Structure 1
């Protein structure tokens, strides 16, 4: 009979059933009680975020947000704004398309004239350096 009263506490929507009731249900493998979420005041930005979340889409933030780029990077990529992630993908596609990786050590990129403009005039660049060398080309 005690088990029935424990589950009754959860079913009735009691937000804080006793710890004994909670332990009894959890020991039998029952799911923990659901809490009721309080609604926050809806602001215009929060409303837009909720609508986007309902559609399954979020506004891009951080490295996925399109940013204006330098003229040197624009010459290579052909766009005025691009997210960092996409810029890196396009640069790697350019490197592979033009066979600019060192044949002996594929982690080293041998720069042509376009890449030298982007990578500060360096002849050879390690693949881990690329994202750091792109930072000055993205305006905030």
Structure 2
């Protein structure tokens, strides 16, 4: 039996399984209490973490705070500096870590 025949035989043996339907994680949708500094940016007192990140990106893009050369860097204005612990430049990966300090 050639290698090709063996591979064809293996393909025939495999059966298609039904993919399990994905359910949303309720922990991500749980409303979080937001600090006053972060509330100035996202405009709400209590929203889920996913919405906080979404609204932060909306704010960053609206005010053109994303670095022109390195899109992974965010140049903070005065409102964002309060959230980012006084840092004037933050990477997008560091942003979520700094924002989590303002959620409870």
Query: What does 1:44-59 align with in structure 2 at a 5 Å threshold?
Result: none
More strand by share: 2
1:99 paired residue number: 64
Pairing 1:62–2:27 present: yes
Point out where structure 1 has 5 or more consecutive residues left out of the alignment.
Answer: 1-28, 30-56
- Deviation of 1:61 after TM superposition, in Å, equals 2.2
Larger Rg: 1
Q: Which runs of 4+ in 1 moved over 3 A?
A: none
Aligned length: 83
Pairing 1:79–2:64 present: no
TM-score by length of 2: 0.73
- Deviation of 1:67 after TM superposition, in Å, equals 1.1
Whole-Å Cα distance in 2 between the matches of residues 96 and 80 of structure 1? Answer: 22
RMSD value over aligned CA atoms? 1.8
Whole-Å Cα distance in 1 between the matches of residues 95 and 26 of structure 2? Answer: 21
Provide, for residues 36-71 of structure 1, a one-character-per-residue CA deviation record: whole Å limited to 9, x for no partner.
Answer: xxxxxxxxxxxxxxxxxxxxx98x721221111111
Whole-Å Cα distance in 1 between the matches of residues 32 and 38 of structure 2? Answer: 12
Whole-Å Cα distance in 1 between the matches of residues 27 and 85 of structure 2? Answer: 24
